[in-house]
Amino acid sequence: MAFLKIAQNRRSVRDFKAKKPSDNDIFYLLETARWAPSANNLQPWRFIVIRDKDNKKKIAKAAYDQAWIEKAPVLILVCSLSGLVERQFPKTGNSLAKQSVAAAIENIHLAAGDKGMATCWVAIPAIGRLKSGFDLPDGVEVHGAVAVGYPRRIGRTPSKIPLADLVFFEEWDNLDLDYTKSSVGEMSKPLLEKKPIKKIRSKLKGK
């Protein structure tokens, strides 16, 4: 499937079929997560694959007590060794660790769509409840869980803000100029060419 189509078709699904993803499919998702970018390539993410009913219940209780979580065929508890990043980046390490893990989680979402599966990113506010429940050592931070399975139904296409309302050039709220690679490609030509604003807006709006 074309990548843009995978991204457009992705939905947060909370109602799954009884069919269970195979181990190979779960490993495929985690392999794509492993190749996500991370700060200084430190790869702080760690994953716990959960199929056990009681363990699913622990996560559901810690995640606003949402009953549907227990019915998901597979949960991937996403953790990080944030201290690993903080040692190299004392001031921004925690933020960089979260950004790195978020990139890995996004890869899981999109890879699941490529396999005909669906996912939902589960926030876990009561992280303290999971420390002992999953024998997590000190220094391991929980960033949430990803529910994985085959969707019973797919929700309608969500509305998205038009690209033309999201993109500026060079500074905030500036749409005066766009810089795009020269289509000529000759060494004697400038690599960047300025484009009129009317053409920019038409392009961003898909016209």
* pTM of the shown model: 0.84
Please tell me the predicted confidence (pLDDT) of residue 190. Answer: 46
Task: Assess contact for 151 and 17: CB atoms under 8 A.
Answer: yes
Residue 176 CA to chain centroid, in angstroms?
A: 32
Please tell me the predicted confidence (pLDDT) of residue 153. Answer: 87
Mean pLDDT, 10 residues at a time, the chain of 207 residues? 89 96 98 98 98 97 96 97 95 96 98 97 92 91 97 87 80 65 43 54 67
Q: Is 113 exposed, middle or buried (0-12, 13-18, 19+ CB in 10 A)?
A: buried
Question: How far is residue 196's CA from residue 199's CA, in Å, rounded to a whole number?
Answer: 6
Strands of 141-149's sheet in order across: 45-50, 74-80, 141-149, 118-122
Rounded to 5, what percent of the chain is helix, strand, coil? 40, 20, 40
Stated as kind and residue range, the H or E segment containing 18 is none
Domains annotated for the chain, with CATH where assigned, are 3-149 (3.40.109.10), 163-204 (no CATH)
Please tell me the predicted confidence (pLDDT) of residue 177. Answer: 53
Please tell me the predicted confidence (pLDDT) of residue 164. Answer: 77
Smallest CA-to-CA distance from 83 within 35, 116, 44, 133 is with 44
Stated as kind and residue range, the H or E segment containing 204 is helix 197-204
